[in-house]
Amino acid sequence: MPGLLQILLDALSLGSLYALGALGIALIFGVMRLVNFAHGDVIAFCIFALLWPSVDVVPIVFAGQLPWFLLIPFVLAVGAGLSVLAELAVFRRFRHANPATMMIASFALGFVIRYFLLMLFSSRPKSVQILPGLSQPVELLGARIPLLQVVTILVTIAVLLALVAVLRRTRFGLEMRAAAENFTMARMLGVRANRVIMGAFAMSGALAGAIALILGSQTGTADIMMGSSIMLMAFIATVIGGLGSLFGAVLAGFLLGGVSVAMQFALPLEARPFRDAFVYGAVILVLLWRPQGLLSGRAAKERV
């Protein structure tokens, strides 16, 4: 049995991924009541942006060779850029459509991105080495801990703090919080709808980029489906957290990570392959108990 510290770190680093993903979904849901199912495919796109198009297993690395201080902004910018493009090309046209229509549009967009990647890279996962320095273990309190886990957790905390600072301290953050609560009223006070929504998409896309970096360095592969499982858990986290509540999304993300890892150790050996079924079972129980989510957001307000 691995040490308690290791379990804790596993839980926190998995929770970090879910929390970052949930945040990316909640940010957009907050301002336009859209559950963006293309988010997972934006994550995948960010990793493939590091490679030249090819169907080989060992691909030609393109931007992946950049030093870390260029690589990280590059991937974040790719995510933000693609996300903003999605808003301009697709979601803006559906802004007055009902939420179900927008959701279907996001599914469709996800497929477009996925098949675009499939066309350029084929479905075989590729091996990529990003930030190889992170795969070494470090000694911490007498245990050998993967450096990447520590970095993942620290990065997530840094991202969360930065987000809180933007939301609390900047004019854009003020406008965004006002818009998330009551978009029409914010517009009647001169807040530009397009600007706020584009900002939310950019932030969400950058978060997708961060997830891509973490996943890519964790697994050493670029896989077209890599965003999907995160996306599913992240979506569940936003629902459990209370759609529209950013804090709830983060909390639920960490909670899901914790429950997943706890079950990995607590379940009897024969049941472990079905861990996710148990996690989803727990999710159903939570939603039966609190259908509006743990921290119900002020969600049901009118959209733009």
Partner 1 sequence: MSLLSLSNVTVRYGRLTAVRGVSFTMAEGEVLFVTGPNGAGKSSLLRAVAGVVAPAGGRIDLADHDITGRSPETIARLGLSMVPEGREVFGSLSVEENLLVGTGMHAGTRGWRARCETDLAAVYATFPILKDRRRSQAGLLSGGQQQMLVIGRALMTNPRLMAIDEPSLGLAPNIIDQVYDRLTELRRHRALALLIVEQSSTRAMMVGGRMMLMRGGEILLDGDARALGQSEAMQSAYFGYGEH
- Of 145 and 174, which CB lies nearer to partner 1 in the complex structure? 174
Query: Rounded to the nearest whole angstrom, what is the least distance from the CB of residue 246 to partner 1 in the complex?
Result: 11
Residue 22: closest CA among 276, 163, 233:
233
> CA–CA separation, 10 vs 2, rounded Å?
11
What angle do the packed helices 226-241 and 275-289 form, to 10 degrees? 20
Using alpha carbons only, what angle is made at residue 233 by residues 71 and 292, rounded to the nearest 5 degrees?
125
> CA–CA separation, 13 vs 150, rounded Å?
8
Query: Rounded to the nearest whole angstrom, what is the least distance from the CB of residue 75 to partner 1 in the complex?
Result: 31
- Of 188 and 285, which CB lies nearer to partner 1 in the complex structure? 188
Query: Rounded to the nearest whole angstrom, what is the least distance from the CB of residue 92 to partner 1 in the complex?
Result: 13
Residue 221: closest CA among 114, 147, 132, 129:
129
> Residue 246: what residue type?
L
> What is the secondary structure of 189-215 as a DSSP string?
TT--HHHHHHHHHHHHHHHHHHHHHHH
Contact 9, 156 (CB under 8 A): no
> CA–CA separation, 148 vs 51, rounded Å?
22
Query: Rounded to the nearest whole angstrom, what is the least distance from the CB of residue 199 to partner 1 in the complex?
Result: 13
Query: Rounded to the nearest whole angstrom, what is the least distance from the CB of residue 86 to partner 1 in the complex?
Result: 22
- Of 178 and 267, which CB lies nearer to partner 1 in the complex structure? 178
Q: How many CB atoms lie within 10 A of CB 102?
A: 21
- Of 52 and 172, which CB lies nearer to partner 1 in the complex structure? 172
**Helix H or strand E encompassing 150:** helix 147-169
Query: Rounded to the nearest whole angstrom, what is the least distance from the CB of residue 184 to partner 1 in the complex?
Result: 6
- Of 12 and 186, which CB lies nearer to partner 1 in the complex structure? 186
- Which spans of this chain sit near partner 1 (rule: CB under 8 A)? 171, 174-175, 177-178, 181-182, 184-193, 298
- Of 41 and 175, which CB lies nearer to partner 1 in the complex structure? 175
Query: Rounded to the nearest whole angstrom, what is the least distance from the CB of residue 171 to partner 1 in the complex?
Result: 6
State how beta strands 221-222 and 137-140 pair.
unpaired
- Of 195 and 272, which CB lies nearer to partner 1 in the complex structure? 195
Q: How many CB atoms lie within 10 A of CB 101?
A: 12
